[in-house]
Amino acid sequence: MKTLPLLPVAAAIFALAACNSEPSKPQVLDSNPDPMASTLANAAPVELPPAIKADKTMRCKDGSLVYVTFFQGDKQVVVRTEKGGTPTMLKGAEAGKPLTADGGWSLTGSTSEVTLTRPGKSAIACHS
């Protein structure tokens, strides 16, 4: 039976245990700093677009349908005259005021009843 000398093994374990007796702090090296860090830190806060309040299909007095998406804040809506048709964004400066878009678009009302004016047509009442 052979026995290993325990003294050299114990000395090696003791030496390895003594190597890192202090807890070390992690080192953070930034070899590639962000060139826009100061610009982004000083930028004005970003305003997110409003969330959708309601998405309605409305029947108008002439029997036609309009598809209206209302947004939170009551300052903008999206109107489509056909399902999947071209969207028209109508905006207003204040909630409760008529929402308008270029070309003669105008909309007033709420998520249940609106009065819509389209380019080249007279105002028409629509309800959901």
Residue range 92-110, pLDDT digits in tens: 989 889 999 999 999 999 9
Residue range 33-86, pLDDT digits in tens: 888 888 988 999 988 889 999 999 999 999 999 999 999 999 999 999 999 999
Distance CA 41, CA 55 (A): 37
Which ranges of the chain would DSSP assign to H, the alpha helix? 6-19, 37-41
pTM of the model: 0.65
Res. 32: pLDDT tops 70: yes
Query: What residues contact residue 93 under an 8 Å CB cut-off, 6+ apart?
Result: 75
Distance CA 113, CA 64 (A): 14
Query: Which residue segments constitute the domains of the chain, with CATH numbers given?
Result: 52-127 (2.40.128)
Which pLDDT belongs to residue 33?
Answer: 80
